[in-house]
Amino acid sequence: MAMVLNEDQQLLRDSARNFCQNNAPISVVRRLRDEKSELGYDESIWQQMVELGWPGMAIAEQYGGFEFGYTGLGLVLEETGRTLASSPLIASVLLGASLLSEAGNGEQKSKLLPQIVAGELRLAVGVDEGPHHAPSRVACSAVKEGTEYILTGTKSFVLDGQTADKLIVSARTSGEPHSEGGISLFMLEANAQGLQIQRATMVDSRNAANLVMDQVRVSEDSLLGVEGLGFTALDTALDIARTGVASEMLGSVQEVFRRIVEYLKQREQFGVQIGAFQALQHRAAQMYSEIELCRSAVLGALRCLDDPSATAKDRAIMASLVKAKLSEVSETVSNEGIQMHGGIGMTDEFDIGFFLKRARVAQQFLGDASFHRDRYAKLHNF
């Protein structure tokens, strides 16, 4: 497994970087926030991303995708992280399309994946039911009645939940409230009767929602995969999404660090650049070291997703490794981003605060550092 990018991947990264810097700069996030955008992203920028082929990056050719691998998608997400460019790439592509690919049958995939690639369909995925990530803790119930299932329960922190056309939710068809067995996956229309979608306005200005399902009836065709055996596919899709979100976080962390180093060279106090002070130099050098580890961890985890010889357990280990590491470093670097800029870092006019806000949401999303260290330890039998 090579730890350097090939030429195609470098070209992709460079073009994604150009696009984000020129077409989706951080000023867009500010505008979306000030406008209190319902969408949480800019539709015209998203359509340009679709034209660039980003939604189809990791999707199989038979479903209209480009089979550029998760490494390709990860490189794109890293660049979106540098400018905090929001889009349906995470909820609909990274999480939604991956879950559909893992759990769906041939018909479901043939029908829906090409629509995602074309930017015509936006998915959202509802997993958690409380303020912490716990994918096996499913109280939401699905009861079979004739050719239908009746869903009752709640879902929280559903990214793009309010703007998606369809939602995939996990629900319990059997088993104890904490068991992995007995979890099934269902596809709902956003306008399904009995489904309430309430926007949760988050600190990062992106779109998240809480769902209330009160006797939502879906046909048995809406079941993804086998009843009661949904957890394996769900966890695999979550591992893909955890790795992809870590890639996005890597972009943000590198951008914050770039801004820190630039400021250390520019700001003068006591007659010298503040970057000459060893107290700041050593913290910067330590951050540099941690970020180098993050770069390797992200690349290693993306390579693992694309490696046909890797097992689901290998991918789980790497996904938890990278999400734990990036969550930890992202916290440190976003905090230092404020501290090293001093008073100006606290002002809304200055952009660094947007990175802090996005960092915390990304840290919590799909499991924070302590969730993933626990999972990593379990996967290693200790």
Partner 1 sequence: MLALKQFRDSTRAWLEENCPPSMRTPMVPEEIVWGGRNTVFTNPESKLWLDRMAHRGWTCPTWPAEYGGGGLSGGEAKILAEELARINARVALTSFGISMLGPVLLEYGTHEQRMEHIPKIIRGEIRWCQGYSEPGSGSDLASLGTKAILEGDEYVVNGSKVWTSYADKADWIFCLVRTDFEVPKHSGISFLLFDMASKGVSTKPIQLISGSSPFCETFFDNVRVPAANLMGRLNEGWSIAKRLLQHERTMISGFGLASGQGDRGGTTSTTASLEGTAMHYRGDKDRLSDPALRDQIAQFKIDSEAFALTSQRSSEESKQGGPNATSSMLKYYGCELNKRRYELLLKAMGSQGLGWDGDEFEAEELQVTREWLRSKANSIEGGTAEVQLNIVAKRVLGLPDMLSLAGKT
Closest separation between CB of residue 134 and partner 1, Å?
17
- Measured from the CB atom, the residue of 13 and 325 that comes closer to partner 1 is 325
Q: Is 272 in the site for partner 1 (CB under 8 A)?
A: yes
Q: Is 246 in the site for partner 1 (CB under 8 A)?
A: no
Q: Is 245 in the site for partner 1 (CB under 8 A)?
A: no
- Three-state SS annotation for 107-139: HHHHHHHHHHHCCCCCEEEECCCCCCCCCCCCC
Closest separation between CB of residue 360 and partner 1, Å?
19
Give the alpha-carbon dihedral of 75, 89, 132, 361, to 10 degrees. 70
Q: Which residues contact 283 (CB under 8 A, 6 or more apart)?
A: 336, 340
String of contacts with partner 1 for each residue 27-56, x by CB under 8 A:
------------------------------
- Measured from the CB atom, the residue of 180 and 189 that comes closer to partner 1 is 180
Element (H, E) at 157: strand 148-159
Among 139, 200, 285, 346, which residue interacts with partner 1 (rule: CB under 8 A)? 285
Dihedrals phi, psi of 227, to nearest 5 degrees: -55, 130
Q: What is the DSSP string of 276-338?
A: G-HHHHHHHHHHHHHHHHHHHHHHHHHHHHH-TT--HHHHHHHHHHHHHHHHHHHHHHHHHHH
- Measured from the CB atom, the residue of 18 and 370 that comes closer to partner 1 is 370
Closest separation between CB of residue 288 and partner 1, Å?
6
Alpha carbons 228 and 171: distance in angstroms, whole number: 9
Among 18, 198, 215, 286, which residue interacts with partner 1 (rule: CB under 8 A)? 286
Q: Which stretch binds partner 1 (CB under 8 A): 121-129, 154-162, 246-254, 373-381?
A: 373-381
Residue bearing tokens 């990304």: 362
- Measured from the CB atom, the residue of 151 and 324 that comes closer to partner 1 is 324
Element (H, E) at 231: helix 230-266
Q: Which stretch binds partner 1 (CB under 8 A): 44-52, 84-92, 291-299, 340-348?
A: 291-299
In the three-class reduction of DSSP (H, G, I as helix; E, B as strand; rest coil), residue 145 is classed as strand
- Measured from the CB atom, the residue of 43 and 292 that comes closer to partner 1 is 292
Q: Is 341 in the site for partner 1 (CB under 8 A)?
A: no
String of contacts with partner 1 for each residue 184-223, x by CB under 8 A:
----------------------------------------
- Three-state SS annotation for 167-216: EEEEEECCCCCCCCCCEEEEEEECCCCCEEEEEEECCCCCEEEEEEEEEE
Instruction: Judge whether 130 and 156 are in contact, CB under 8 Å.
Output: yes
Alpha carbons 91 and 17: distance in angstroms, whole number: 21
Looking at the DSSP bridge assignments, the partners of residue 151 are 142, 216
Alpha carbons 234 and 135: distance in angstroms, whole number: 8
Q: Which stretch binds partner 1 (CB under 8 A): 22-30, 41-49, 71-79, 319-327?
A: 319-327
Size of the site for partner 1 (CB under 8 A): 40
Tokens of 51: 């034209």
Q: Is 270 in the site for partner 1 (CB under 8 A)?
A: no
Q: Which residues contact 154 (CB under 8 A, 6 or more apart)?
A: 129, 140, 210, 211, 212, 213
Alpha carbons 325 and 294: distance in angstroms, whole number: 7
Q: Which stretch binds partner 1 (CB under 8 A): 179-187, 247-255, 318-326, 337-345?
A: 318-326
Q: Is 134 in the site for partner 1 (CB under 8 A)?
A: no
Closest separation between CB of residue 379 and partner 1, Å?
10
Q: Which stretch binds partner 1 (CB under 8 A): 82-90, 92-100, 137-145, 258-266?
A: 258-266
* Interacting residues toward partner 1 by CB under 8 A: 2-4, 261, 264-265, 272-273, 275-278, 281-282, 284-286, 288-289, 292-297, 299-300, 321, 324-325, 328, 370, 373-374, 376-378, 380-382
